[in-house]
């Protein structure tokens, strides 16, 4: 299923959501400018490498100029291909603005980065010794979706649904669209427990546990940061 837009207008300009999209696109453009060897080295420095993060918890000194814990945040702005970044930015564009309005700009940015880091740690928990770099904004965006489903369960999401070889548009309540997405990620994560958990740069690798973990943490952190606060008379507040 491919979401096109949600029927959930906002009263603010979602500056943070726009800024996150711009930074992600600029980072991806920089990746495209690198040679294959340079790109591999770049991602090993700035993406999460579970094996190196595990070693850092034991006091090992990182060979890179960036502390391993910092990659929990820098990895959120890296992507492995056009479809990877296009899908992530589409979901962020659709669902981010409403959550930003509910939390306020600064809290939303803190929320987004925290969800991304916690999602990466969830994936790390299940692949602590993997040498495969892990990267992408999907864990943070899953957190946005976890908050969205709580705040706007009945908002309609215009979605293209494949019926045979034809994509048919349907207006699906967010609770069903996002709920189905979460269950799918959790089930794929459970299946991956019986197989090597390779994520990030390996072809076809998807961080299912990061998606599920980000969603859950988003549903937890959103209310703690004021997701349900009444902003009807102060909706531009930070």
User: Sorting pLDDT into bands at 50, 70 and 90, what band is 27?
Assistant: very high
- Two tokens, residue 16: 């943070």
User: Could you report the per-residue pLDDT of 88-134, keeping only the tens digit for each?
Assistant: 999 999 999 999 999 999 999 999 999 999 999 999 998 888 888 89
Residue 58, helix vs strand vs coil: coil
User: What's the CA gap between 214 and 69, in Å, rounded?
Assistant: 17
User: Could you report the per-residue pLDDT of 36-72, keeping only the tens digit for each?
Assistant: 999 999 999 999 999 999 998 887 777 778 889 999 9
User: What's the CA gap between 201 and 122, in Å, rounded?
Assistant: 18
User: What's the CA gap between 145 and 218, in Å, rounded?
Assistant: 7
Is the pLDDT assigned to residue 236 strictly greater than 70?
Answer: no
User: Could you report the per-residue pLDDT of 123-178, keeping only the tens digit for each?
Assistant: 999 888 888 889 999 999 999 999 999 999 999 999 999 888 888 999 999 999 99
User: What's the CA gap between 74 and 213, in Å, rounded?
Assistant: 18
Is the pLDDT assigned to residue 192 strictly greater than 70?
Answer: no
Is the pLDDT assigned to residue 234 strictly greater than 50?
Answer: no
Which CATH topology does 2-224 take? Rhomboid-like fold (1.20.1540)
Is the pLDDT assigned to residue 235 strictly greater than 50?
Answer: no
- What pLDDT is attached to residue 102? 96
User: What's the CA gap between 135 and 168, in Å, rounded?
Assistant: 32
Say what percent of the chain tops pLDDT 70: 90
Bridge partners, residue 158, by sequence: 5, 171
Bridge partners, residue 160, by sequence: 2, 169
User: What's the CA gap between 148 and 196, in Å, rounded?
Assistant: 32
Global model pTM greater than 0.75: yes
């Amino acid at each position: 299923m491919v979401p096109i837009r949600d029927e959930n207008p906002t009263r603010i300009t979602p500056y943070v959501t726009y800024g996150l999209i711009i930074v992600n696109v600029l980072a991806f453009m920089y990746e495209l400018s690198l040679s294959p060897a340079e790109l591999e080295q770049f991602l090993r420095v700035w993406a999460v490498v579970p094996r190196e993060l595990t070693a850092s918890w034991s006091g090992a000194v990182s060979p890179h100029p960036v502390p391993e814990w910092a990659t929990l945040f820098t990895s959120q702005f890296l992507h492995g291909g056009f479809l990877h970044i296009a899908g992530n930015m589409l979901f962020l564009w659709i669902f981010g603005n409403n959550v930003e309005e509910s939390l306020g700009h600064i809290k939303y940015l803190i929320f987004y980065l925290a969800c991304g880091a916690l999602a990466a740690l969830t994936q790390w928990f299940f692949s602590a010794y993997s040498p495969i770099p892990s990267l992408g904004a999907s864990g943070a965006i899953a957190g946005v979706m976890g908050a969205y489903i709580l705040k706007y369960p009945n908002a309609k999401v215009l979605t293209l649904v494949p019926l045979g070889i034809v994509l048919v548009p349907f207006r699906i309540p967010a609770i069903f669209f996002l709920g189905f997405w979460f269950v799918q990620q959790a089930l794929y994560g459970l299946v991956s427990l019986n197989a090597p958990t390779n994520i990030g740069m390996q072809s076809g690798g998807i961080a299912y546990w990061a998606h599920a973990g980000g969603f859950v943490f988003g549903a937890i952190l959103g209310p703690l940061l004021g997701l349900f606060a009444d902003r009807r008379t102060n909706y531009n507040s930070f």
